[in-house]
Amino acid sequence: MRAMRLHPAALTLVIIGAVIMMIPLLWVLGLSFKSNAELLADTSRVFSPPYTLENYLNIFGNGEVFRWIINSLIVSLGMTTGVLVISSLAGYAFARLDFPFRNLIFIIVLLGLAVPEQAVIIARHQMFSAVEMHNTYFALIIPGMATPFGVFLMTQYFKAIPKDIDEAALLDGASRFTVFWKVLLPLTIPAQATLGIFVFLTAWNDYWWPLISGTNKEMFTLTVGIASTQQNFAQTEGLGFLMSQAVFAALPILIVYLIFQKYIIQAVAGAAGR
């Protein structure tokens, strides 16, 4: 695919937009390298020395932050794995298998897209409360595994693979499971990568459900944990430490982005193209 040449005016606009979006991020990064004492007096000299690693060293000295990072990793990876497994199997079934009420069930699954989380959050809370499962990884992970979008995406992706390939594999003596596992699933890797990245990012950044379900400090995810360390309205104390936590929390996301940026760009471009 040839790279599109932007008009100079458009390029200027894009650069201005990028700078505007980067300023708060650079601001956070700058604050994270400033001492809390200095920030208490003045936050305007972000981009001038002196800088310090004190805030980051404090993170390493704070066991809670690590605990929250581990929690976030477990929840995000667990949810991502679950969504990929469920969406792949459901997508294969909806795309390839004949079973009673297939279309009706598919429509019911898709209707889930129209239900906002806010509408079900109380019922969900009561459900987990009734079975006394709050403050468990299970409670943090399971609700996010119901993703109509994932099922829809994988169904469409499986449908786009020519059936000839399944049939060739069946003629090659493969069982249904072998066809799924060795032939079709590897062909859906781009879709799985896209879905996996979005689920991981969503789970990592999620705040609301972990805030409701993980009330025990030991079960905080990073987002909830960082929020809990805010001490007052203006955050006049410990601002540098808070910013360093935010930067630290964003690192896994940055790593995920750097590794999978090809798929993220493809996914965003694909979504825009449709």
| Nearest distance in Å: CB 80, other proteins | 22
Q: Which is nearer to other proteins, 45 or 182 (CB)?
A: 182
Q: Which is nearer to other proteins, 98 or 132 (CB)?
A: 98
The token pair at 67 is 């605990």
Per-residue x/- marks for other proteins, 50-69, CB under 8 A? --------------------
| Nearest distance in Å: CB 161, other proteins | 9
| Nearest distance in Å: CB 260, other proteins | 18
d(CA 157, CA 120): 29
Residues in contact with 55: Cβ distance below 8 Å, sequence separation at least 6, in sequence order: 32, 33, 34, 35, 36, 240, 241, 243, 244
Residue 267: CB atoms within 10 A of its CB come to 19
Give the footprint of other proteins on residues 156-175 (CB under 8 A). Answer: 162, 164-165, 167-174
Which SS3 state, helix, strand or coil, does residue 137 take?
helix
Would you tell me the crossing angle of helices 222-229 and 63-96 to the nearest 10 degrees? 150
Q: Which is nearer to other proteins, 167 or 218 (CB)?
A: 167
| Nearest distance in Å: CB 185, other proteins | 10
Interface with other proteins: number of residues (CB under 8 A): 16
| Nearest distance in Å: CB 189, other proteins | 8
Handedness of CA 26, 251, 240, 48 (dihedral sign): negative
d(CA 106, CA 149): 11
| Nearest distance in Å: CB 157, other proteins | 14
Per-residue x/- marks for other proteins, 215-234, CB under 8 A? --------------------
d(CA 240, CA 36): 5
Q: Which is nearer to other proteins, 109 or 179 (CB)?
A: 179
Q: Which is nearer to other proteins, 190 or 252 (CB)?
A: 190
Residue type, 88: S
Is 154 exposed, middle or buried (CB count within 10 Å of its CB: 0-12, 13-18, 19+)? buried
Give the footprint of other proteins on residues 171-200 (CB under 8 A). Answer: 171-174, 178, 182-183, 186-187
| Nearest distance in Å: CB 98, other proteins | 12
Do the Cβ atoms of 91 and 160 come closer than 8 Å?
no
Residue owning tokens 């760009």: 265
d(CA 173, CA 114): 42
Per-residue x/- marks for other proteins, 123-162, CB under 8 A? ---------------------------------------x
43 sits near other proteins (criterion: CB under 8 A): no
Q: Which residues bind other proteins (CB under 8 A)?
A: 162, 164-165, 167-174, 178, 182-183, 186-187
